[in-house]
Structures are given as C-alpha cells and as structure tokens.
C-alpha cells in the first residue's frame, strides 16, 4: 500500500504524498526532537525533511526504501538545523574512559539533568547515531544503510558516540563536583 | 565492560522519554510548504520510464517491427527473382526497457572552479566541494586506527545527504606498508561489504601522489567510492558515498595534502 503511495507521489500526486507525510510526521518529529533537544527546531527539521522528500522523490530509485531515505533526510535536516544555529555544546576532545561511572550498583548512573547536559555536549552526528540505535532500534548495519556510510564506519561511530557520552557525563559530574566544592 | 552496558541501558531509557506527536499547526505548516514546492525532475529519473504508458511503448515496438520487416522484404525483393519464396524476417526482439541502473549518469567533466574550499582541522588536507546547500561536518578529533576510535571523519554533506564526501587520515601501523594496510583495512569489506578485490582498484594520483580508488557497492542503495593515498608513514582515506561514485574524481582533483599540517 505504501509502495503504491510512494509511486503515485513520485509521479507528482500531492494527495498521496500528503498521506505519507501525515503518517510519518510524528516519527520524524520524535527523532528530530531527540537529536536536537528542542521542540521548535525539531518541527523545522521535520518540515525541511518532508519538503526535500517531496522535491527529490522522483529520484528515489526504490519506493520500498522510502522510510530509510526519509530518515536520512531528517537526520541531515537536523545537522543543518544544528549548524545553522550553532549553539550545541562544544565538541569535546575525549580522553580514555575505562572505569565505570558508578561506584556501586545501586546508585543511579546519572540523573536526567546530567544526561541532558551530557547529551547536549555531543555533536549532532553522534547524537543522531545514538538516537537511531537506541530510540529507533536500528542495528549498526541498518544505521549504516540509513546514513549511507560503510557499516564499519557506523560501528566505529557508534562506539565512539558511547565513549563520548560517557566522557560527557564524566565532565558534567566533575563540573558539578567542582561547583559543589565552591559553594561549600 | 560494566560501564559500556550501563551507558547503553541509560541511553535506552533516556531516549525513550520525550514527545512522540507533532503539534497539528506544525504539520499543517509542513504540508503548506510542500504545496508550494515543485518536484525536481531529472532527464534520467526512473519516473519517466514508469510514466511511459504501455500503448506508446507497444506502438514503438510495433513501429520498429514494421520498419524491420518492411525493410527486409524490400531488400529481399530487390535481390530475389520472382517466384523464389522470400525467407521470413527474423522475429523482432523488443528492446529491453531501460532499467534505473542503466539510467545512471556519470559525472563527466565537472567544473570545480566555483566550489567552496574546506580545510581539515586534523588531517592535513584541503578539498573543494559544491556550493548550493552542501554543509560541512568537520571531525571533532583525530581518528585512530589502532583503537578504531577517535572522533570521526570530516564530512561534507550534500543538501539531501546523498551523496556525501568524507575523509580521514591515520598513521600506518609500525612495519606495515600502505598496500598491506589497505588490504587489511578492506579485508572485511571485501568479504562482507561488496568491496572490490585490490586487483580491481583504479590507480591514479591525488595532488601528485600515487593513489588507488575502489568503487564499492552492495546493491543499488548502497554505493561508495574509496580513495587511498599513502605518503610516507601516513595514509589518507577519501570516501564518496552515493549512487554516482564517479563524483569522487572531481573531488579528488581539488585535494591538496600537506603531511606537516596533520594534527595528531
């Protein structure tokens, strides 16, 4: 059914594309919001992805790949949105982080605020690969296909993104500890 | 190991939270924007073949058949004396409809004179990329072969993200030549990722340095071209991800490499 809609939309059927857009908008928005951590920007990225999808749809070679292709457009719209506004956290140079973040198994690894600050420190490419893997549930190979990169690159990026997130959380925890010492 | 498991579990939970539905006004704005946008049509876009209705296609085949049979009869009529039965014309085989793959266009001569410059912060090279909405995604740190870790490649994204050009550099492991490194680096890809054998790599030069290009791709959705340049004990990898892999050639024609500018 969706393949038919995509093929009709490829021939210029706006009504068919409207159905596709309505049924994908929530997912695109949810992915965009998680990458950008901002409602307005996520809406802009979703709109940008849908407009580009409509404009470029005749070039899509396989209608069955529509959703993966749309995800890629959304991710790239998020990159453009993030770079346009240039206020995500500064890229961080990573040091090896081998030890666990927790001293015992009962303590929460990081509260939501720490996670949020840590995640915002990551560049958009790392946020995107984490969202595709942890939120959408794509395997590294599926992430590779979605982003159009070699599978090895996707695995490496995912590994790096995990390390970056751990390092970011450590940095947030250290900042909090220093701030706490300053207060007392 | 504990930390890795923890961070994955934490991220699962963290990213599961958040809005799942877009507000109606935002969706309506998007639909309005779509209404004001024209679709882009390429000369070789697959839709043209889909759009071609069956009757004109059959008519075209029939016309070819008529011309072929008529021509053959005319020629035979000229050559054979009256009363000698003319042989029947060979059956006409309809031309196979062009496939999407056959419609693939190569880059051909590309004018790079107006392309925008990009200078790598870590990898000691410069390259130019097309204007028109391409965006830069510079690496955040230096890629490290030994750990398969480090930041990332520099990436230049096309407006649709397809194609993109990305590059990185690394030191050759001690005692390993460039050829040995490339064979090891690509061995897994050769087996699993539709990567060509070294014998099928193209030899060229990049900024005056010997280079190889491998045109890889598993299927019609996953293409990339990968160029490698070895200078001294370092290797630069340049990738063009996208269906028109020949686009890597104009990119490479703009590359300059300065090993002394690498930031390890």
The pLDDT tens digits for B192-222 are 456 788 888 899 999 999 999 988 765 544 5
Say how far apart CA B229 and CA B227 lie, in whole Å: 7
Q: Is the ipTM of this complex over 0.90?
A: no
Chain B residue nearest residue A158, CA to CA:
B149
Which residue in the set B27, B33, B162 is minimally distant from A22, CB to CB?
B27
**pLDDT of B101:** 32
- The residue-averaged pLDDT of B84-109 equals 35
CA A51 to CA A57: how far, in whole Å?
Answer: 10
Nearest to A165 among B7, B140, B148 (CB): B7
| pLDDT beyond 50 at A94 | no
| A7 neighbourhood in chain B, CB within 8 Å | 50
Cα torsion for A39, A42, A43, A44, to the nearest 10°?
120
Neighbours of A96 (CB within 10 A): 9
Question: Is the predicted pLDDT of residue B140 greater than 80, yes or no?
Answer: no
The DSSP 8-state label assigned to residue A184 in this structure reads -
> Which residues on A lie below 8 Å from B102 (Cβ)?
none
B161 with A125: Cβ contact below 8 A: no
Q: Are B149 and A159 in contact (CB under 8 A)?
A: yes
Tokens of residue B85, six digits: 């039965």
What count of residues does chain A have?
A: 184
Residue range A27-53: average pLDDT?
94
Tokens for A35? 């990458």
Q: What angle do CA B241, B192, A71 make, to 5 degrees?
A: 40
The 3-state DSSP class for residue A158 equals helix
B40 to A153: CB separation less than 8 angstroms, yes or no: no
For residue A5, what are the CA distances in angstroms to A62, A72, B22, B27, B40? 13, 19, 22, 19, 18
Give the nearest chain B residue to A66 (CA atoms).
Answer: B221
Q: Which of B225, B149, B147, B17 is nearest to A37 (CA)?
A: B17
**How many A-B residue pairs are in contact by the CB < 8 A criterion?**
197
Q: Average pLDDT over chain B, rounded to whole?
A: 70
Per cent of chain B over pLDDT 70 is: 61
User: Which one of B17, B22, B153, B263 makes the best mutation probe of the A interface by having the most chain A beta carbons within 10 Å?
Assistant: B22
HSE, CB side, 13 Å, CA atoms: give it for residue B86: 17
Task: Output A164 or A46, whichever has higher pLDDT.
Answer: A46
Q: What is the mean pLDDT of residues B139-159?
A: 67
Which residue, among A26, A24, A4, has the nearest Cα to A13 in the 3D structure? A4
Please state whether the peptide bond connecting residue B163 to the residue before it is cis, i.e. omega within 30 degrees of 0: yes
- pLDDT over 90 at B71, yes or no: no
pLDDT at residue B239 above 50?
A: yes
Provide the pLDDT confidence category of residue A16 given band limits of 50, 70 and 90.
very high
How far apart are the CA of A178 and the nearest CA of chain B, in angstroms? 23
Q: Are A61 and B220 in contact (CB under 8 A)?
A: yes
For residue B72, which phi and psi values (nearest 5 degrees)? Answer: -65, -45
Q: Answer whether residue A45 shows pLDDT above 90.
A: yes
The pLDDT assigned to B188 comes to 55
pLDDT in tens, B2-51: 344 478 888 999 999 999 999 999 999 999 999 888 776 533 222 222 22
Angle at B136 between CA A10 and CA B127, to 5 degrees: 105
Mean pLDDT, to the nearest integer, of A104-123?
67
- What pTM, to 2 d.p., does this model score? 0.49
Cα separation of B28 and B32, whole Å? 6
Q: Cβ–Cβ of A165/B37 closer than 8 Å?
A: no
For A37-46, B56-65, B82-91, which range has the lowest pLDDT when averaged over its residues? B82-91
Q: How confident is the model at residue B252 (pLDDT cuts 50, 70, 90)?
A: very high
H or E segment and range at residue B224: strand B222-231
Mean pLDDT throughout B228-240? 92
Instruction: For residue A166, give the nearest of B7, B39, B242 by CB distance.
Output: B7
Q: What pLDDT shows up at residue B160?
A: 66
**pLDDT above 90 covers what percent of chain A?**
38
CB-CB neighbors (< 8 A) of A165 in chain B? 7, 11
Residue of B nearest to A141 (CA): B193
Query: Is there a contact between A148 and B161 if contact means CB atoms under 8 Å apart?
Result: yes
* pLDDT confidence of residue B68: 47
Q: Are A158 and A129 in contact (CB under 8 A)?
A: yes
């Amino acid at each position: 059914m969706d393949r038919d809609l995509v093929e009709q939309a490829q021939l210029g059927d706006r009504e068919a594309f409207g159905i596709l857009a309505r049924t994908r908008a929530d997912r695109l928005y949810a992915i965009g919001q998680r990458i950008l951590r901002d409602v307005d920007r996520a809406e802009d990225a979703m709109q940008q992805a849908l407009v580009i999808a409509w404009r470029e749809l005749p070039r899509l070679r396989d209608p069955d790949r529509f959703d993966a292709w749309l995800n890629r457009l959304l991710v790239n719209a998020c990159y453009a949105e993030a770079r346009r506004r240039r206020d995500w956290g500064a890229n961080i140079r990573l040091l090896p982080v081998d030890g666990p973040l927790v001293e015992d198994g009962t303590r929460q690894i990081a509260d939501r605020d720490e996670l949020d600050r840590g995640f915002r420190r990551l560049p958009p490419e790392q946020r995107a690969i984490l969202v595709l893997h942890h939120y959408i549930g794509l395997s590294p190979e599926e992430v590779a296909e979605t982003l159009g990169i070699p599978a090895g690159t996707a695995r490496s990026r995912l590994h790096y993104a995990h390390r970056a997130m751990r390092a970011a959380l450590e940095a947030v925890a250290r900042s909090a500890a220093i701030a706490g010492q300053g207060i007392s | 190991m504990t930390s890795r498991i923890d961070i994955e579990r934490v991220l699962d939970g963290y990213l599961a939270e958040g809005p799942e539905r877009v507000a109606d006004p935002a969706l309506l704005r998007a639909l309005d924007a779509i209404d004001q946008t024209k679709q882009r049509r390429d000369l070789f876009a697959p839709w043209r073949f889909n759009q071609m209705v069956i009757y004109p296609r059959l008519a075209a085949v029939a016309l070819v058949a008529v011309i072929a049979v008529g021509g053959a009869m005319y020629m035979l009529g000229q050559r054979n004396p009256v009363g000698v039965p003319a042989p029947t014309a060979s059956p006409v085989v309809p031309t196979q409809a062009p496939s999407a793959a056959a419609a693939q266009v190569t880059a051909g001569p590309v004018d790079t004179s107006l392309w925008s410059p990009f200078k790598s912060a870590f990898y000691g090279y410069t390259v130019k990329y097309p204007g028109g909405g391409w965006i830069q995604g510079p690496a955040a740190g230096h890629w490290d072969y030994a750990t398969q870790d480090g930041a990332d490649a520099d990436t230049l994204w096309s407006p649709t993200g397809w194609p993109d050009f990305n590059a990185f550099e690394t030191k050759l492991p001690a005692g390993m030549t460039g050829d040995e490194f490339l064979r090891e680096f690509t061995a897994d890809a050769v087996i699993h990722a539709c990567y060509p054998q070294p014998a099928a790599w193209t030899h060229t030069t990049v900024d005056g340095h010997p280079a190889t290009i491998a045109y890889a791709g598993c299927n019609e959705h996953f293409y990339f071209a990968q160029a490698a340049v070895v200078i001294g004990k370092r290797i630069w990898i340049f990738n063009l991800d996208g269906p028109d892999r020949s686009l890597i050639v104009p990119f490479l024609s703009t590359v300059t490499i300065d090993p002394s500018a690498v930031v390890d």
